[in-house]
Amino acid sequence: MELNGAFSNPFVRDKSLLTRLYGLHRRLLEVAAEHPRQARSAPPKASPVLETVTLVLELAGLPMRARDVHAAAEQLRGATLHSSSVKAALAAGAWGDRPRFRRISRGVYESAR
């Protein structure tokens, strides 16, 4: 990037700021050329909590409380799940054009299928 015409701009009174900025820009380009960064791998996919919760409710075939869904999902996955993740999946799955769950009452859900 060149500063063509930047120093002749009559509205810029303090040219030292432009000079320092230009010097910093050149230094950063030199450092980047000497030590190029390697691309990082993509982060792992998010935990498929929604699919696990859907499977739990489909296998149960009856309405379940959120805490029971959480316990069953942990058992099915064989790993701990945050209860907030399970509750968020239940809430998200109960909305939209094709909801996965039906909210029966506060904290109680069943599969919509």
Q: From the CB of residue 108, how many other CB atoms can be counted at a distance below 10 Å?
A: 15
How far apart are the C-alpha atoms of 3 and 1, rounded to whole Å? 7
**Nearest-CA neighbor of 71 among 63, 61, 62, 80?**
80
Specify the pTM: 0.57
Q: Residue 47 has which token pair?
A: 């935990």
Domain ranges (residues) in the chain? 1-39, 49-111
pLDDT in tens, 64-77: 999 999 999 999 99
Q: Which class is 49-111 in CATH?
A: mainly alpha
Digits of tens for pLDDT over the chain (113 positions)? Answer: 555 665 666 666 677 888 889 999 999 999 999 999 888 888 777 558 989 999 999 999 999 999 999 999 999 999 999 999 999 999 888 887 888 899 999 999 999 87
Residues 73, 86 contacting (CB under 8 angstroms): yes
Torsion of CA 103, 108, 112, 113, to 10 degrees: -170
Contact 57, 111 (CB under 8 A): yes
